[in-house]
Amino acid sequence: MSEDLLLRAGTWSVVTPASAGWRYLSFEVVSLPAGAAAERSSGGDEVCLVVLRGSCRVRSGGETFELPGRGDVFSGPPWSVYLPPGREYRVEALEELDLAVSGAVAERGGPARVIRPDEVEIEIRGAGSATRQINHILPPEGEAHRLIVVEVYTPSGNWSSYPPHKHDEDRGDAEAALEEIYHYRTRGDGAFGIQRLYSPRRELDLTAWVADGDVLLVPHGYHMAAAPHAYDLYYLNALAGDRRSLAASDDPAMGWIRERWAGMEADPRLPMVQP
């Protein structure tokens, strides 16, 4: 099962609920040369389109959304578009483009809109070598039905999604049941990160290197990531469940780590990108 959860760049094109073996979440990266276009339909999903590289124009329902974009995820803040279910849309690449499309099955949705960088809340989480930057693109309080989208920057040498946590049970304010996707981006020859996903009660323990373009499916279990010395790590997280909440439970053997952050300084390298 571990091999089915880590999808290497070049071996996957689209993640669907059927291919992932879950209920809601889908994901793809639309890659286009400058001047090319692609047509899609949100169908029964709400979708969030995040520019990873390049710039584009999105046309849908008589509206035009301009996304100035960025050179890559490490050189600028996110430009995004949210579309509710039932929308045909056309993506026109103004430059060579990588566009992440996260979707979740939804019976309703929020208004179609551009999400500009200055509308994205930047959170610096953790301290010391566990400091990372979270950009809340489509947060739980945003206008949507099920979908949540964030991007995370982890400076070289730091730990992320830490301490290991899970969100695979519905326990009210303590934990929400969420499907999750990690999509990684790295920079530099040989760049990589480390990811662990484990669930003792499901006899799952996956520890692996991850690199540019890889995808990890997180249907359940505790998870965490790390950026090796000299290599910064980026990942886009898409999440969906019956409740739009990021409530999670720490690994009970490691939750005490949060107490160590009191009085520690945040990593001064963060934020790595901002409007």
At the second CATH level, the architecture of 2-261 is Sandwich (2.60)
* pLDDT for 148: 98
Positions of the chain with pLDDT lower than 50, given as ranges? none
CA dihedral 12, 13, 14, 18 (to 10 degrees): -40
Q: Render pLDDT for 172-225 as a digit per residue (tens, 0 to 9).
A: 999 999 999 999 999 989 999 999 999 999 899 999 999 999 999 999 999 999
Q: How is the chain split into domains, by residue range?
A: 2-261
List of residues 6+ apart from 150 with CB closer than 8 A: 134, 135, 136, 137, 138, 139, 236, 237
Q: Is 140 left (phi over 0), alpha (psi -120 to 50) or beta?
A: alpha
Q: Render pLDDT for 11-22 as a digit per residue (tens, 0 to 9).
A: 999 999 999 999
* pLDDT for 2: 64
Locate 158 and state its tokens: 């730091």
* pLDDT for 20: 97
Among 15, 49, 43, smallest CA distance to 180 is for 15
* pLDDT for 132: 98
* pLDDT for 103: 98
CA distance 136 to 189: 29
* pLDDT for 221: 97
CA distance 185 to 235: 6
